[in-house]
Amino acid sequence: MVNKLKITTVGNSVGVVLPREILERLRVGKGDSLFVTETPDGVELRAFDDEFAEDMAIAERVMRENRDLLRKLAE
Residue 32 within any structural domain of the chain: yes
Residue 42 within any structural domain of the chain: yes
The count of structural domains within the chain is 1
CA 39 to chain CA mean position, Å: 10
- pTM, 2 dp: 0.59
Residue 1 within any structural domain of the chain: no
For residues 67 and 46, what is the distance between their CA atoms, to the nearest angstrom? 27
The H-or-E segment that residue 21 falls in is: helix 20-26
Q: What residues make up the domain containing 48?
A: 7-74
Residue 26 within any structural domain of the chain: yes
Report how far apart, in Å, the C-alpha atoms of 8 and of each of 25, 57, 59 are: 22, 32, 35
Residue 55 within any structural domain of the chain: yes
Residue 2 within any structural domain of the chain: no
Residue 40 within any structural domain of the chain: yes
Local confidence pLDDT in tens for the 75 residues of the chain: 788 999 999 999 999 999 999 999 999 999 999 989 899 999 999 898 778 778 888 988 998 899 888 888 888
8 and 16 Cβ atoms separated by less than 8 Å: yes
34 and 48 Cβ atoms separated by less than 8 Å: yes
Residue 34 within any structural domain of the chain: yes
